[in-house]
Structure 1
Amino acid sequence: MAKNHVLAIVLAGGEGKRLMPLTMDRAKPAVPFGGHYRLIDFSLSNMVNSGYMKIVVLTQYKSHSLDRHVTRTWYTSPLLGNFIAPVPAQQRRGPHWYLGSADAIYQSLNIVDDENPDYIVITGADNIYRMDFSQMVQHHIDSGLPATVAGIRQPIEVASALGVIEGKDGHVDRFVEKPQNPVGLEDDPTQVLASMGNYVFTTQDLIAALREDAEDPLSKHDMGGNIIPWFVERGMCGYYDFKDNNVPGSTDRDRDYWRDVGTLDAYYEANMDLISVHPVFNLYNRDWPTMTLLDGSLPPAKFVYGDEHSRMGHAVDSFVSPGVIISGGEVYHSIVSPNSYVHSWAQVTDSVIMHGVRVGRSSQVVKTILDKNVVVEEGAIVGVDLEHDLERGFTVTESGITVVPKGTIVTR
């Protein structure tokens, strides 16, 4: 099968309410991650590394920065007919925006008609993982079934929060949302197979399902909630076990790494995973790179002042991006994004610092997410007194992470 018979669709219209205030001014897939990436870079890198170069990104919610990022970063030459294109909601099927993920694809069937692919790969835009989708597509073809859903093994005790696949020999018998009495896997009763939100469809069968769903006034027009059950009820859905996916350069340790970063705590923990001494998700896998585009005008990171008895600019157990200046400040177990500045005698610990942040002299930032262009004034403290952080209007998560919105000035 030639790979140009596959159209990839990335669903990137999510509002991401649970990531507020990080999604106050941007779509969830555009949220920065790991220093200089954005969440969508992981999904697009998987598609490109899989050999799929005809990709549409369906956007809707506050999509300007996302559209700009995709257009500038993921530009491809049209010489071979390749494209990675953001497609905003256009009300093609009536005077309404996307009603759900299935409706987003239904409203974009003109693209499917134009490309006329044999198979369609559909994935979300806001999870952290590596996956070779060409292996899943081949599994789909070999199965002879019209629909295939990717599943990841999860502990049975968390099944009540997941969409669970029940079946055997690659065939889905039931698809249950948030089951209260889940059934463990035959080869491991302590686990269930949870949907990853990644799908492969034979094109004409998907079109038929979408058209029927569009006519159903009771449908929520959701891929996982309506379209997959539509195929399951007809005995037409298979599953693909993520543990069988072999990504070049991966190890047994990171084979089935997958993180949903839908909450602030999960987002923070996934960032911290990256900077552990032996991270499970290794960004240094050169055989399956996670790609993005940096501003080519950025100079290297700089660390200045080396007097250990007075002030020393240094970073330990951290990611420090291009354009960063650590001028006599200290950074521990943190991620510092491009164009940020840490001034003398400042301390940044266990934190995520986004683009263009200024951390003033003698200030202290602990277990905090500072969104873009935040200014921490000289002597200010954030992330230490959580009650004070709440009084100042900052978000504090259940696990005690302080989140400071974009452009905020943090005073003493």
Structure 2
Amino acid sequence: MSKTTLTFVFATERGTPTALTQHRTKAAVPFAGKYRVIDFSLTNALHSGLRQILVLTQYKSHSLHKHLRDAWSVFNPELGEFITPVPPQMRTDSGWYINVLDALRQNRYLIERNTAETILLLDGGLVYRMDYAALIRWHREQQAEVTVPLRQLTPESTASRVRIECNEQEQIVACNPNEMANKTAGLAPMGVVLINRDVLLNALDQGLNEISASTHEEFMTLLIEPLLAQQRVFGYQFGGERGRVTPDRYWSDLASLDAYYQANMALLAAQPPLDLYQPDWNILTNQGQYPPARTVPGEHSGNEGIFINSMLAAGTVIRGGGVSHSVLFPRVQVEDGAIVDGAVLCDGVQIGAGAELRRCILDKEVTVAPGARIGLDIQRDQQRFEVSPQGIVVITKGCHVAAD
């Protein structure tokens, strides 16, 4: 299967939440205590036996390129395997990628020179687990030209601006704007398309590349809708019994700061919606050579360092502080008497003695002075930092937070 399907992962856009994409593309945003968002799509491909992967990059791509080098240099090029970042090559003109369709157009030569029968198109800025091998088998069983995995909209799921309609044979018959008031019913695309090679090349010839499309939903609509009358286009149930992934049916586009925060907090539930612990579907990432996380007594107070219902990554040390209901990435330091509650602390964050943090997100390398308070006085926080509509305080990468 590895050589019969060529995979494109789109990681070209800044995306949202914008406070976390000032220095990186959305696909490189840290998530769930140790991962980057793109790790989920790449892990799905790896476990699905896909070994030819092109990652299209553009916006502030250095962080993503470094991560791909450090975490994903796992394939053997001598066997025709690769994960290769592809920034704009400007082979057809001198422009950058305008959108995902234009990115495909500019890299048409990579499709033409590859012998793959099918092309898998993935949005690298989404979080979900899926066995693409089962999708590919189903695509062939149906003798489909195009297959679009679909998620079921519910009041608890991420809303969609697009609704997909299928007939009894699961063929897609309509791809319409979601005009329902709550936009939480029906079927929606999920940023994945499996398409036969010749069908994609013909579609690119028909001028689709001239249409602006910046989101996965717009992309799916503009690519798929013109093909409905010409090709066998099928929907595919996401989260069904096919494949080797435990069907947690979790999917998130992390479309806002609040969505990003809630997605991290949900991982702390007794029954988290996203299964990170399936033994044969472990999520791969770059593992720094850090010592184990630990708690130690405070140097001056003698208070024990404690953590309750939290994730602690390697290299984290809690010295007499208290951490509850929080997600701590590698190398976080929480000093004596500090209180951290309901926080997401990214790699290298330093929390000074006696500081107090509640309901906040701190990007990489943020330092918090002793005695500083974050998330307790929203009006004051709004004068200093970005605050989400639901009151989550966000401090961008490398900032120093002074004491009140």
Q: What band does the TM-score fall into relative to the shorter chain?
A: over 0.9
Verify: 1:152 aligned to 2:145, yes or no. Answer: no
Matched, 1:172 2:172: yes
Displacement, 1:3? 3.3
Matching residue of 2:3: 4
Deviations for 1:308-364, whole angstroms, at most 9, x for unmatched residues? x85111211111111111111111010111111100000110000001110000000
Q: Are the structure 2 counterparts of residues 358 and 160 from structure 1 closer, same or farther at C-alpha, using a change threshold of 3 Å?
A: closer
Map 1:328-347 to 2 at 5 A: 328-347=320-339
Structure 2, gaps ≥5 residues long? none
Q: What are the ranges of 5 or more consecutive residues in structure 1 without an aligned counterpart?
A: 184-189
CA–CA separation in structure 1 for the residues paired with 2:110 and 2:19: 33
Query: Do the aligned residues in 2 keep the contact of 1:360 with 1:377 (CA within 8 Å)?
Result: yes
Deviation at 1:156, TM superposition (A): 7.7
CA distance in 1, matches of 2:61, 2:156: 36
Q: Of 27, 32, 36, which aligns to 2:25?
A: 27
SS in 2 for 1:243: coil
Q: What is the 5 A alignment of 1:7-406?
A: 7-16=6-15, 18-75=16-73, 76-155=75-154, 161-168=160-167, 169-180=169-180, 191-214=185-208, 217=210, 220=213, 223-248=219-244, 250=246, 254=248, 256-296=249-289, 298-305=290-297, 310-392=302-384, 394-406=385-397
1:157–1:411 CA distance, 2 compared to 1 (3 A): closer
In structure 2, do the counterparts of structure 1 residues 280 and 377 end up closer, same or farther at CA, with 3 Å as the change threshold?
same
Is the 8 Å Cα contact of residues 71 and 85 (structure 1) preserved in structure 2?
Answer: no
Q: CA deviation at 1:236?
A: 3.3
Residue 257 of structure 2 contacts residue 388 of structure 2 at CA under 8 Å; is this kept in 1? Answer: yes
Contact kept, 8 Å, 2:144 with 2:233, in 1: the verdict is: yes
- 2: CA distance between counterparts of 1:219 and 1:391? 36
The 1:134–1:95 alpha-carbon spacing in structure 2 relative to 1, beyond 3 Å, is same
Change (3 A) 1:115 1:264: same
Give the Å deviation of 1:225. 3.2
- Per the TM alignment, residue 158 of structure 1 is displaced from its structure 2 partner at its CA by 8.2
Alpha-carbon offset, residue 128 of structure 1: 1.5
SS at match of 1:123: strand
Counterparts in 2 of 1:384 and 1:159: CA distance versus 1, 3 Å: closer
Compute the displacement of 1:303 (Å): 1.1
Matching residue's letter, 1:32: P
- The answer to whether the 8 A contact 2:146-2:195 is kept is yes
Q: Give 1:382 deviation, angstroms.
A: 0.4
Cα distance in 1 between the residues matched to 2:378 and 2:202: 53
Question: CA offsets, 1:201-231, max 9 Å, x none?
Answer: 010111110121257x556586323111121
Cα distance in 2, alignment partners of residues 137 and 161 from structure 1? 25
Report the secondary structure of 1:91's partner residue.
coil
Cα deviations across residues 180-201 of structure 1 (Å, max 9, x unaligned)? 4899xxxxxx941111010000
Take 2:158 and 2:327, find their aligned partners in 1: how far apart are those partners?
A: 32
Q: Deviations over 1:375-410 (max 9, x none)?
A: 110000001111111111x11111111000111111
Once residues 159 and 269 of structure 1 are traced to their aligned partners in structure 2, the CA distance between those partners, rounded to angstroms, is 12
* 2: CA distance, partners of 1:218 / 1:200: 20
Q: Deviations over 1:228-277 (max 9, x none)?
A: 112124253211111325343615xx1x1112212111111111111222
TM-fit CA distance, 1:116: 2.1
| Other structure's SS at 1:140 match | helix
How far has the Cα of 1:113 moved from its partner?
Answer: 2.1
What is the alpha-carbon distance in structure 2 between the residues aligned to residue 411 and residue 246 of structure 1? 53
Contact 1:213 1:226 in 2 (8 A): no
Q: TM-score, normalised by structure 1?
A: 0.91
Report how many residues are paired.
398
User: d(CA) in 2 for partners of 1:214 and 1:249?
Assistant: 34
What TM-score, normalized to structure 2?
A: 0.93
Which residue identity does 2:43 align to in structure 1? S
Kindly provide the amino acid, as one letter, of the partner of residue 90 in structure 1: Q
Shift of 1:157: 10
